[in-house]
Each structure stands twice: as C-alpha cells, then as structure tokens.
C-alpha cells in the first residue's frame, strides 16, 4: 500500500487542447489554461491563434473584442488591435495609425496547431514547440462514425485521467452498463508507451453489461487503456470481424480542480453507423454523468479534508503511473532537470476478477 498527499502537476512544454475546430467561429473564444486566461480566435487566412486574454493597454479582456475583416483581434475597449503573434498592429487615434503601433506593444502568445478537428496550444507562452500534438487514430471503413462529448469536470487533471482508465470502478459505479454481473478472470499487462503507458486486458468476455454476443461465448475483447503525456486518455475495444471503438479523451486543465474534457469516440462496426451512434450517445451520456458526479464528490471530500490520501494496490495499474509520468515531465522542465532522462514505467502483469 502507498499514500500520497495532494499536489498538482502541470508540465508546460506540451500541447493542450483549447477548443474543437467547430467551436471556433467568427467571435473570439475565452478559455483558461491552469488559471491563465486565454483568447482563441481565427486570424489571418483562418489560422487559429491563442493569446493571453489581456489587452496590453488597460488589461481589458480581448475575448470581449472582435475579429476584424483582415483577421486581427480588436480590443473592445479602445480598439488596440493584435495579430496572431500577439503584436499590436493598430492603435486607433494615433497619427500614423499602423506605423505608430510599435512591435514592443504586445501580449504573450501561444504556438497553435489545428489537427484532427482540435485546436491545440503550446503550454508555455512565447516559446517554440519541440514536438507535434498527439494524433488521434483514424477509424475507417464501412459503418464508421464519430461521437463527441464535452464536459467540464470538478476535479484535477490527474483524477480525470485515472478515472477514465480505471477498470475496477466500472463494476460498481457503472454496474449493469459495463460489468457488475458474473465476475470473470482477466489478465492485465502494463507496458511503457511512447510518452506514456498502456495496459492490455486479456480474457475479457465480449458484452455490454448483461448483454453478450450470441453463439460463441468464448469470444473476448481486444482491450487497451492508454495514457499519453500530458493530458490524453484512450480506451480501445475491438472484436475481430465485428467492430472497433476508440475513445480518445483530451483534457484541458483549467485550474487545479477544474478540468475540461472532450470525449472523441470513433468507431467502425458491422451495424449501421446511425445505430451505433445512438447507442454510444445513450450509454456515453449516462456513464459520463455518473463519472462526473463521482469526481465532484471525490474533489469535495479531498478539499474538505485538506488533501488527498491515496492507498493503492496492484489493481491500480495506471493511476500511480500517470502521476509518476506527470511529475517527471514537470520536473524535467525545472532548471537543471533537462537531463532527467525518460520516466521509467515498469512492465507488470496482474490477474484479477471483474
């Protein structure tokens, strides 16, 4: 058994999702990254940009301004105008207009990439990224489709990541949806992954709660749970010849105890896509409500008692590894921490019932 007190890890030199592409329209969008207010907008030629949400003139929120026809962000207070790099390009009223807007008048900007229908921002402002954002897997073929949920959770980033990838809780919190009936022996194998960790589950019978596929009762899922730094959880289920479903959950840590999550569920099935879409939405919403309520209650108790106290067993295959990887990535950014090397995730096999 082990115990740990409450702490928040936030490595900055990574990509974080700030919006879905479909959420970013003609108006600027206000978001928060670990208590730092940001504004997201489409600048020149439609490219997304992310700036600190504060005008350099009088600290007015830039998200309350507007995007002009030439793709720059105009403050709604005095009209100071910024390009996607955070440089002030126009100060209305000054003789010379654009020429008088010195480049020294600027606000911090975050490198931005639009990929897989998501707008990603580099966590460290005014810095050059050292890697690409996480790439969502393509799930193609007949019967393919996608369902996306968004939810703001009252919990730490780490708590949301662990909850998404925690198998044992499903037999109790989600009893009847996933598990909770007759227990089956399952073998779990934890392995290191690129910038993360994964667990493969072997021997898990095919079914959804009490529902089982007809005929061959020996059929089992291909099931993997994965974590990728700094804020991606991924659950994959597949049955040969029947279907494949990948739920990739990208997280935006808005503050220590507030986390926004986008659940991007991509699937391919022998059943018609609209049917699977409806099933995923129905069960997904119910599961999400249960998880969100449990995480909020967990956070309420944690804050009320002044900190976390976790006691883990060998069944907690991913939670401690997630915490270790986050803390290692954060410490590697500290002065003198660049030579820390890759975080070690030990391979482990556990047999349990669920």
Instruction: Give the residue-averaged pLDDT of 154-171.
Output: 93
Q: Which helix (H) or strand (E) holds 113?
A: strand 112-115
Query: Where is pLDDT greater, at 341 or 244?
Result: 244
Asked if residue 339 has pLDDT above 60, the reply is: no
Instruction: Give the residue-averaged pLDDT of 176-188.
Output: 74
Answer yes or no: do 159 and 116 share one domain: no
Could you give the percent of the chain with pLDDT greater than 90?
Answer: 71
What is residue 342's predicted lDDT score, i.e. its pLDDT?
61
Answer yes or no: do 268 and 305 share one domain: yes
Token pair 């279907």 is found at 243
Asked if residue 99 has pLDDT above 70, the reply is: no
Asked if residue 180 has pLDDT above 70, the reply is: no
- 98 domain-assigned: yes
Answer yes or no: do 285 and 338 share one domain: yes
DSSP 3-state of 327: helix
**CA 180 to chain CA centroid, nearest Å:** 28
Token pair 């000054």 is found at 94
pLDDT digits (tens, 9 = 90+) for 186-198: 899 999 999 999 9
| DSSP letter (8 states) at residue 271 | S
Contacts of 34 (CB under 8 A, 6+ apart): 10, 253, 254, 255, 256
pLDDT digits (tens, 9 = 90+) for 200-238: 999 888 865 444 455 555 678 899 999 999 999 999 999
Mean pLDDT of the chain, nearest integer = 89
pLDDT digits (tens, 9 = 90+) for 117-145: 999 999 999 999 999 999 999 999 999 99
Answer yes or no: do 110 and 193 share one domain: no
Band (101; pLDDT cuts 50, 70, 90): low
Q: b/e per residue, 5-28, with b = 16+ CB within 10 A?
A: eeeebbbbbbbbbbbbeeebeeeb
Query: Where is pLDDT greater, at 261 or 336?
Result: 261
- 42 domain-assigned: yes
Which residues does residue 109 pair with via DSSP β-bridges, in sequence order? 51
- 241 domain-assigned: yes
* Domain count of the fold of the chain: 2
What is residue 337's predicted lDDT score, i.e. its pLDDT?
66
DSSP 3-state of 313: coil
- How does DSSP assign 20-66, residue by residue? EGGG--SS-EEEEETTEEEEEEE-GGG-EEEEESS-TTT---GGGSE
Q: Angle at the Cα of 16 (from 26 to 35), degrees rounded to 5?
A: 85
Band (105; pLDDT cuts 50, 70, 90): confident
What is residue 175's predicted lDDT score, i.e. its pLDDT?
80
Contact 190, 199 (CB under 8 A): yes
Answer yes or no: do 103 and 154 share one domain: no
CATH number of the structural domain spanning residue 63: 2.102.10.10
Band (4; pLDDT cuts 50, 70, 90): very low
Answer yes or no: do 179 and 299 share one domain: yes
Band (98; pLDDT cuts 50, 70, 90): low
CA–CA distance, 331 with 148 (Å, rounded to integer)? 33
- How does DSSP assign 116-180, residue by residue? TTEEEEESSTT---SSPPPPPPP--STT-EEEEEEEEESS-HHHHHHHHT-SGGGGTTTTTTS--
Contact 62, 73 (CB under 8 A): yes
CATH number of the structural domain spanning residue 245: 3.90.380.10
Q: Is 299 exposed, middle or buried (0-12, 13-18, 19+ CB in 10 A)?
A: buried
Question: 330: how many CB neighbours lie within 10 A of its CB?
Answer: 19
Which residues does residue 201 pair with via DSSP β-bridges, in sequence order? 188, 223
Contact 149, 49 (CB under 8 A): no
- 165 domain-assigned: yes
- What pTM was computed for the model? 0.91
CA–CA distance, 66 with 58 (Å, rounded to integer)? 17
pLDDT digits (tens, 9 = 90+) for 307-322: 888 889 888 999 999 9
Contact 156, 255 (CB under 8 A): no
Answer yes or no: do 264 and 168 share one domain: yes
- 132 domain-assigned: no
- 133 domain-assigned: no
Contact 114, 129 (CB under 8 A): no
Contact 29, 39 (CB under 8 A): yes
Start-to-end Cα distance in the chain: 21
Could you give the percent of the chain with pLDDT greater than 70?
Answer: 88
What is residue 178's predicted lDDT score, i.e. its pLDDT?
66
Answer yes or no: do 112 and 172 share one domain: no
- 68 domain-assigned: yes
Asked if residue 90 has pLDDT above 80, the reply is: yes
What is residue 1's predicted lDDT score, i.e. its pLDDT?
36
What is residue 58's predicted lDDT score, i.e. its pLDDT?
95
Full domain range(s) for residue 153: 145-353
Instruction: Give the residue-averaged pLDDT of 179-190.
Output: 79
Contact 331, 323 (CB under 8 A): no
Answer yes or no: do 118 and 152 share one domain: no
What is residue 71's predicted lDDT score, i.e. its pLDDT?
93
What is residue 107's predicted lDDT score, i.e. its pLDDT?
96
CA–CA distance, 157 with 40 (Å, rounded to integer)? 21
Helical axes 157-164 vs 319-332, angle rounded to 10°: 140
Torsion of CA 65, 67, 71, 72, to 10 degrees: -10
């Amino acid at each position: 058994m082990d115990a740990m007190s409450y702490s928040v890890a936030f490595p900055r030199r990574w990509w974080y999702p700030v919006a879905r592409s479909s959420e970013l329209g003609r108006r600027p969008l206000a978001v928060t990254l670990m208590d730092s207010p940001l504004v997201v907008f489409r600048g020149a030629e439609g490219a997304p940009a992310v700036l600190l949400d504060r005008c350099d003139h009088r600290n007015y929120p830039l998200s309350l301004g507007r995007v002009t026809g030439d793709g720059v962000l105009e403050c709604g207070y005095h009209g100071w105008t910024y390009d996607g790099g955070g440089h002030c390009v126009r100060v209305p009223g000054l003789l010379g207009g654009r020429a008088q807007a010195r480049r020294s008048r600027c606000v911090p900007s975050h490198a931005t990439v639009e990929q897989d229908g998501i707008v990603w921002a580099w966590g460290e402002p005014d810095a050059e990224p050292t890697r690409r954002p996480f790439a969502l897997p393509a799930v193609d073929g007949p019967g393919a489709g996608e369902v996306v949920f968004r939810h703001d959770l009252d919990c730490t980033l780490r708590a949301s990541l662990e909850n998404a990838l925690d198998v044992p809780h499903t037999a109790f919190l989600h009893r009847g949806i996933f598990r909770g009936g007759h227990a089956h022996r399952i073998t779990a194998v934890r392995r290191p992954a690129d910038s993360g960790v994964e667990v493969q589950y072997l021997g898990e019978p095919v079914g959804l709660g009490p529902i089982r596929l007809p005929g061959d009762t020996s059929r089992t899922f291909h099931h993997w749970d994965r974590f990728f730094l700094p804020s991606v959880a991924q659950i994959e289920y597949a049955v040969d010849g029947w279907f494949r479903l990948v739920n990739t959950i990208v997280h935006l840590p808005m503050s220590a105890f507030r986390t926004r999550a986008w659940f991007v569920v991509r699937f391919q099935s022998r059943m018609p896509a609209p049917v699977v879409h409806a099933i995923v939405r129905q069960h997904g919403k119910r599961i999400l409500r249960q998880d969100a309520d449990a995480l909020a209650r967990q956070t309420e108790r944690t804050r009320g008692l002044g900190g976390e106290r976790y006691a883990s067993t060998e069944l907690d295959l991913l939670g401690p590894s997630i915490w270790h990887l986050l803390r290692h990535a954060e410490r590697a950014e500290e002065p003198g921490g660049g030579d820390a090397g890759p975080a070690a995730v030990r391979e482990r096999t556990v047999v349990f019932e669920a």
